[in-house]
A and B are shown apart, each in its own frame.
Chain A
Amino acid sequence: GAGVSQSPSNKVTEKGKDVELRCDPISGHTALYWYRQSLGQGLEFLIYFQGNSAPDKSGLPSDRFSAERTGGSVSTLTIQRTQQEDSAVYLCASSPPESYYNEQFFGPGTRLTVL
C-alpha cells in the first residue's frame, strides 16, 4: 500500500517568508509525528499528533513554528518568517492505532532551504 507522502519534496524560500509543508500519513494511521534533520545534527522531534490533537508539541523550536492536522489525516507544518537556521529536512512519520510495536513509518521528507 501507499506509504507516507510529503510535499513539496524541495522548497527554496527567502528569509522572512512563510512556508507550509504537507504530510499525508498512511491510511488508517492515527498517530503522526514531525521531525527535523539539520546538517550536522541528528534527527530532532518537533510535534506529535494523536488524531487531530497534539498532546506533545514540546519540540517546536519557536513560536514561528505551528502544525495542525485535520480529519485525522493530513497534517501541515507552518513556519512563519523563516530564518536561515530553519534550513533542514523535515520528516513526517505515522503509526497505526493500538500498535503493540509503536513502529513509526517515515516519509521521504521535505528539504527546506532558506536563502
Chain B
Amino acid sequence: KQEVTQIPAALSVPEGENLVLNCSFTDSAIYNLQWFRQDPGKGLTSLLLIQSSQREQTSGRLNASLDKSSGRSTLYIAASQPGDSATYLCAVLLYGNNRLAFGKGNQVVVIP
C-alpha cells in the first residue's frame, strides 16, 4: 500500500521567507505526483503536476521537484505572502491505478 507522508504537519513563517514543504512516498512506481492547495472549508486547487519522467515543474513563485528513486518531492514557495496561508497536500498516482494517495498535508501560516 502506498504511504504518503508530509513533514512538517504545520509551520509558520514570516512574510517574505521561502517555504519548503516535503513529501515522501513509499512506492516509487508512480505515474505522477500532484501538489494541491486547500483553503479552510474549501475544495482542492491543483498547483503543480509532475510526471514520473520529469524532475521538476515551475509555476510563478512555485517550484516542485521530484526524486522518484528516493521517494521524495519538495514544494518551494518563494517570497511567501500572507495569501499563501493554506494547507498544501501532496498526492501520488500509481501506475495501473486510478486513485490518488494523499498525504495529510502541510498547514502553512505566513505571518505579515
Contact = CB atoms under 8 A, between A and B. Distances in A.
A35 B98 CA distance: 12
Nearest to B42: A108
A33 B98 contact: yes
Contact of A42 (B34, B51, B98, B102): B102
A101 B102 contact: no
B46 interface: yes
Interface residues of A, number: 28
Q: Which of B36, B46, B99 has most chain A Cβ within 10 Å?
A: B99
A106 B101 CA distance: 14
Main secondary structure on A side of the interface with B: strand
A108 B103 contact: no
Interface in B79-112: 89, 91, 93, 98-105
B75 to A, nearest CB: 16
Interface of B: 4, 31-32, 34, 36, 41-46, 49, 51, 89, 91, 93, 98-105
What are the 4 closest A-B residue pairs judged by CB atoms, nearest first?
A45-B99, A106-B44, A108-B43, A43-B102
